[in-house]
Structure 1
Amino acid sequence: MTTDALGTTPLTSLTQLAPTITGEQLLASLTPPAQFAGASFDNYRPDPDYPSQQQAVDVLREFGAAAGVQKTGGFLGFGRRKKPADGGPKPGVYLDGGFGVGKTHLLAALWHQASGRKLFGTFIEYTALVGALGYAKTVELLTGSSLICIDEFELDDPGDTMMMTRLIGDLVAGGTRFAATSNTPPNALGEGRFAASDFLREIHAMSGNFTTLRIDGLDFRRRATSGEAIVTDAAAVTAAVEAVRAAGRVATRDDFTAFVDHLATVHPSRYLLMVDGIDLIAFDDVVQLHDQMQALRLVAFIDRAYDAELPIVASGTPLSAVFDEAMLGGGFQKKYLRSISRMIALTAAAPSNGG
């Protein structure tokens, strides 16, 4: 049975966990989530009502088959890499679209098609890698990669803006190609979050390396689910947890407020380890959040739970209503809507909820 951070007590609560992760472990984990282990362009199902989905497949196939970028010098790479005389393909492709249109599937399909050394991770995992190893060491380790895929690309503060601009520029100068997904076009990253106008040159320099593909469509997760996360009572939460544990699997159960407070003690890059080896998450007494930092930490955790296909049962406020109106109308709106979509899917996936 999975145990707590000390390896001694059977794991029953997420608040028992305070995992640590090294830069080397982070680097080794930069592969697509398990649910996308078999993702390919052939098993992506474009919606015929949205031609941009098939167009994205066609462009990504061509991008994946293209030759590597010519290696040239340059401190940051921007404006120093020799451009094709015909204004040919850029070294990066950027998938912009709403949540649930299959962007991560397409990114993983590109990763699987690519040859050579390739990496796949979320934006927060790459920033955590720099934090763990330092900038120079990160560049050294990533140099020589044929393709780096960045899922959920977001720039939530000026430091991340500067760091990712420089990192992408240095690696592009060395011949690495990039692919990224986001709910925000690259020239609009940071809008509503910080004084983006102060960093427009850096953002535009970075976006200049990408060909942007707009992918329209409906959220596939909500096609088969209601518009609200499933909520249950305490007795049903108990029954679900006991059923999982009786089968010899791991179910955690936490007071929601205590869990949210605990997330503040764990770096988001470590949330990946918090969901490892767990089969069911249960929350008691979910309440609506009004603190943006708490909300963003929850978003990061739900992203990892969704990657792990980890069902959730919960009592109290529906998880789809956990973000208040001010948050849903603010600069992180798209992040919150994506998280709501994922929480609806995860609660629907719980066996006790009919999943």
Structure 2
Amino acid sequence: MTIVSTSHAHISQTGAAPCDGPGAAPAALTDREPHVPAEQLVAEMVPPPRFDGVRFATYLPDPKQPSQAEAVRVLGAFAEGLGGGAAHGGAGRRRWFRREPRQQAPSGPRGVYLDGGYGVGKTHLLASLWHAAPAAPERKAFGTFVELTNLVGALGFQQTVRTLAGHQLLCIDEFELDDPGDTVLVSSLLAKLVENGVALAATSNTLPGKLGEGRFAAADFLREIQGLAAHFRTLRIDGEDYRHRGLPQAPEPATDDEVARAARRTPGATLDHFPDLLSHLSRVHPSRYGALVRDVGAVCLTEVKPVPDQSTALRLVVLADRLYDREIPVVTSGVPFDELFSEEMLAGGYRKKYFRAISRLTALARDGKALTGD
């Protein structure tokens, strides 16, 4: 069953109205209570805004890395192979998605896995595959591994299966192997979707600073998904890996007054006390963090400090991903983002998430520096 949403998320404001223009009183994220209809959570599983315009034609392979051009060729053929009459409705579509005659599904691998380090364009290629797949937008889904687990948390396992089973393609960016429970959950979900003829595509990254780890990413992925491994074709994408350069240095934080001033003069900006925002995130389901920051022009935070525990840290990672997807600048006072997570966290099982959050928040903080200038 495919659900197409015609409704919009409702965001109640319990405090100040959104900042509509320079000089207006800034709103606060802590005043926002997003209520997203369950069907809209699925309808919004599309490539992030920064990848709206990407296509295979806009991916520029490095001539020194033939695997990049080969990936474009293979993914293009994979997208074409997803047609089979399904994209045009009619009897072909009914045959494709009817459960009983599974032998009528197209032969060959029903999934592709893009294996490679950071900065080689895997998300660009994955989003290009989504755009190229010959199906209506409501019959293909794109989301991160975390968004998929959050969807299951919001809808329940069986409802998620029923909702996604009518899709032609599911793209999963940043497949994560650091939580055995989540890996088993998603593997079980994907097995059900494969039974219903859904094609799969996935990427994952390896930890910055672990040179050579990318060479084992495909083996780790195929081992963890176990029974699904036979459905995936692995595409290795070589290229310069930004891990060799290390994490970018976080910019110097602003003062509280500079943060407040930036919030007042930036249309659509929000202004929050960082500890209060962390507390608010604990009361909002992570699947609604995207709605929480919808139409926000900038996020301004005072008194940023190291997160107190792992549960809080993981919620902050999800918020960082949603801010990065929407390219929302961040202006902060307090400690720089590279001091958000303790050494113990950065050495633990979720370290990849934390390094990603630092990198993304740092990039957004660099964008936000322009908002503090006189």
Structure-1 residue corresponding to 2:32: 17
Deviates more, 1:310-319 or 1:98-107: 98-107
Structure-2 residue corresponding to 1:145: 167
Structure-1 residue corresponding to 2:343: 325
* Alpha-carbon distance, 1:73 to partner: 9.6
Question: Does the CA-based 8 Å contact 2:30-2:272 persist in structure 1?
Answer: yes
Within the candidate set 244, 260, 264, 1:242 is matched to 264
Q: Match of 1:5, SS? A: strand
Q: Is 1:41 matched with 2:81? A: no
Q: Is 1:60 matched with 2:82? A: no
Within the candidate set 138, 141, 149, 1:119 is matched to 141
* Alpha-carbon distance, 1:17 to partner: 1.9
Change (3 A) 1:64 1:174: same
Q: Match of 1:46, SS? A: coil
- Structure 1 letter corresponding to 2:127: A
Question: Does the CA-based 8 Å contact 2:96-2:105 persist in structure 1?
Answer: no
Q: Match of 1:169, SS? A: helix
| In 2, Cα distance between equivalents of 1:321 and 1:142 | 39
- Structure 2 letter corresponding to 1:206: L
Structure-2 residue corresponding to 1:267: 285
* Alpha-carbon distance, 1:285 to partner: 1.5
* Alpha-carbon distance, 1:209 to partner: 2.4
Question: Does the CA-based 8 Å contact 1:302-1:342 persist in structure 2?
Answer: yes
Superposition pairs of residues 112-261 of structure 1, within 5 angstroms: 112-116=131-135, 117-155=139-177, 157-183=179-205, 185=217, 187-188=219-220, 203-218=225-240, 226-244=248-266, 249-261=267-279
Structure-1 residue corresponding to 2:114: 95
Q: Match of 2:58, SS? A: coil
Deviates more, 1:228-237 or 1:256-265: 228-237
Change (3 A) 1:128 1:33: same
TM-score, structure 1 normalization: 0.81
Within the candidate set 105, 115, 136, 2:124 is matched to 105
* Alpha-carbon distance, 1:157 to partner: 4.1
- Structure 1 letter corresponding to 2:50: Q
Deviates more, 1:344-353 or 1:104-113: 344-353
* Alpha-carbon distance, 1:260 to partner: 1.6
| In 2, Cα distance between equivalents of 1:280 and 1:251 | 4
Gaps of 5+ in 2: 1-9, 19-26, 85-94, 207-216
Change (3 A) 1:72 1:35: closer
Within the candidate set 261, 272, 276, 2:294 is matched to 276
* Alpha-carbon distance, 1:229 to partner: 3.8
Change (3 A) 1:294 1:46: farther
Change (3 A) 1:131 1:324: closer
| In 2, Cα distance between equivalents of 1:281 and 1:37 | 22
Change (3 A) 1:99 1:320: farther
- Structure 1 letter corresponding to 2:169: L
Tell me the alpha carbon deviations over residues 124-151 of structure 1, each in whole angstroms, 9 at most, x when there is no partner.
3333333333333332222232111112
Tell me the alpha carbon deviations over residues 319-341 of structure 1, each in whole angstroms, 9 at most, x when there is no partner.
13212211222222222222222
Q: Is 1:340 matched with 2:347? A: no
Question: Does the CA-based 8 Å contact 2:130-2:140 persist in structure 1?
Answer: yes
Structure-2 residue corresponding to 1:305: 323
* Alpha-carbon distance, 1:349 to partner: 1.3
| In 2, Cα distance between equivalents of 1:327 and 1:167 | 29
Q: Match of 2:79, SS? A: helix
Q: Is 1:352 matched with 2:352? A: no
Residues paired across the two proteins, number = 331
* Alpha-carbon distance, 1:186 to partner: 5.8
- Structure 1 letter corresponding to 2:228: M
Q: Is 1:30 matched with 2:57? A: no
Same amino acid, percent of matched pairs: 45
Q: Match of 1:93, SS? A: strand
Q: Match of 2:307, SS? A: coil
Change (3 A) 1:8 1:322: closer
| In 2, Cα distance between equivalents of 1:288 and 1:52 | 41
* Alpha-carbon distance, 1:310 to partner: 0.2
| In 1, Cα distance between equivalents of 2:28 and 2:307 | 21
| In 1, Cα distance between equivalents of 2:339 and 2:61 | 30
